[in-house]
Amino acid sequence: MGYHVVDPAALDPDPDRPSEMQYISEAADMDQMGLRVYSVDPGEEVPLSGLHYHETQEEVFYVIEGVLSVETPEAVYRVEPDQFFVAEPESPHRAHVAESADESARVIGVGAPPVSDGHGVEE
């Protein structure tokens, strides 16, 4: 058995992301799910740059505070605190905080399986 208590504030942010991200899965040795916490300022994107999709990964964003915008080919969704946005595999999306937003957003991101296979989509 294994148990972990992880304080995101104690983790160094991943330096290669467009917004601040702490990778909880890595700190807890999880291998079946990617779990991250994001702090996203107005004008910043959440995980990857631009519209993208994942071949096999189901991806979920849960908004703790602020407002997350998620662009898809059909619409732009407004995701408010205590709401989830779910992207099924092969569903293009781009999660960000609008430049015109009054505040930053804090978001939990979950992906299963935990793959880094984001494929860009030409807009």
Domain ranges of the chain: 21-115
Cα pseudo-dihedral 60, 65, 71, 74, rounded to 10: 80
Question: Is the confidence at residue 48, as pLDDT, over 80?
Answer: no
Q: Which of 64, 96, 105 is nearest to 82 (CA)?
A: 64
Q: Say which residue, 58 or 114, is predicted with more confidence.
A: 58
Q: Is the pTM of this model over 0.75?
A: yes
Beta bridge partners of 105: 40
Top pLDDT among 86 and 23 is at: 86
Residue 27: which H helix or E strand, with range?
Answer: helix 24-27
Q: Which long-range contacts (CB under 8 A, 24 or more apart) does 79-84 make?
A: 84/60
- Express each pLDDT in 9-36 by its tens digit: 999 998 888 889 999 999 999 999 999 9
**CATH of region 21-115, choose from 2.120.10.30, 2.60.120.10, 1.10.3720.10, 2.40.70.10:** 2.60.120.10
Per the prediction, the chain carries an average pLDDT of: 91
Q: Is 10 exposed, middle or buried, given 0-12, 13-18 or 19+ CB atoms closer than 10 A?
A: exposed
Contact 77/85 with Cβ under 8 angstroms?
A: yes
Tell me the residue type at 122. E
The average pLDDT across 39-61 equals 90
Q: Chain centroid to CA 28: how far?
A: 18
